[in-house]
Amino acid sequence: MRRFCLGFLSFLSLMAQAQAGDALLAVAANFTAPMQKIAQAFEQDTGHKAVLSFGATGSFYAQIKNGAPFDVLLAADDDTPLKIEKEGLSVVGSRFTYATGQLVLWSKQAGLVDDKGEVLRSGKFQKLAIANPKLAPYGLAATETLTQLGLLSELQPKIVMGESIGQTYQFLVTENAQLGFVALSQVFADGKITQGSAWVVPAKLHNPIQQDAVLLNSGKSNPAAAALLTYLKSDKARAIIKAYGYQL
């Protein structure tokens, strides 16, 4: 009997592996750290594997339009997935909001950024890093914030642009820019800012950063892609997302 049970369990394990597959994901750069953790848990829990590519939402849109074989898009906004759906490039009804992001003004230097963002008016920095607003929703939120503060024109000569929020963060980590707007998730863990100094930008200063996921046409017959989107709504995935400072 014991040998039968062990054999049956081995059979079930083989069946699970046979049914498991890969899902190719295009993931907004701001969601890098939480998605890496979610992908690991997803593979452990389901046997499926999420193959991750990170970058700017606008760049992914262009790639998808040109036939890139991604199964799922996790965007940094809600406009791009809606546009993709309207253009017939995704499965209608699959789109949903997986997180709402927060913008933060951050510096690697401790004490440089105050809790009201007044450092932007101080002149105590040479370069201000933001993501390209034409490609990255967090870059658009940054320019909206500067506009609301009446500082966009004044600070324009100091602005350096990253192609994605990931590249923008690298400008700050390497201190090629002393100050910059990034996603809170990039500098936040365990309920606090991990290093440096920061000002979490009030939501009223920019349009909401509502981040949507969508099943692309390439993934409509891929069980792993469907399973991944379902997993994103699970309590385990939502706990990881919340731990990185996103709102649900």
DSSP assignment of 179-195: EEEEEGGGSEETTEE-S
Mean pLDDT for 168-192 is 93
* Closest by Cα among 34, 55, 25, 32 to 131: 55
Give the span between the Cα atoms of 167 and 200, in whole angstroms. 20
Contact of 224 with 16, CB cutoff 8 Å: no
Contact of 68 with 217, CB cutoff 8 Å: no
Return the pLDDT at 219.
97
Question: For residue range 4-36, what is the model confidence (pLDDT) as tens digits?
Answer: 344 434 333 433 443 469 999 999 999 999 999
Instruction: With a cut of 60, say whether residue 233 has pLDDT above it.
Output: yes
Question: For residue range 202-211, what is the model confidence (pLDDT) as tens digits?
Answer: 999 999 999 9
Question: For residue range 109-134, what is the model confidence (pLDDT) as tens digits?
Answer: 999 999 999 999 998 899 999 999 99
Contact of 141 with 108, CB cutoff 8 Å: no
Q: Kindly list the structural domains of the chain, giving each domain's residue range(s) and its CATH number in brackets, ordered by start.
A: 2-100+209-243 (3.40.190.10), 103-200 (3.40.190.10)
Confidence band for 235, pLDDT divided at 50, 70 and 90: very high
- Percent of the chain at pLDDT exceeding 70: 92
DSSP assignment of 52-85: EEEE-HHHHHHHHHTT---SEEE-SSSHHHHHHH
Specify the higher pLDDT residue, 191 or 153.
153
Instruction: With a cut of 70, say whether residue 81 has pLDDT above it.
Output: yes
Return the pLDDT at 2.
47
Residues sharing a CB contact under 8 Å with residue 105, sequence separation 6 or more, in sequence order: 113, 117, 119, 120, 179, 180, 181, 198, 199, 201
Rounded to two decimals, the pTM is 0.82
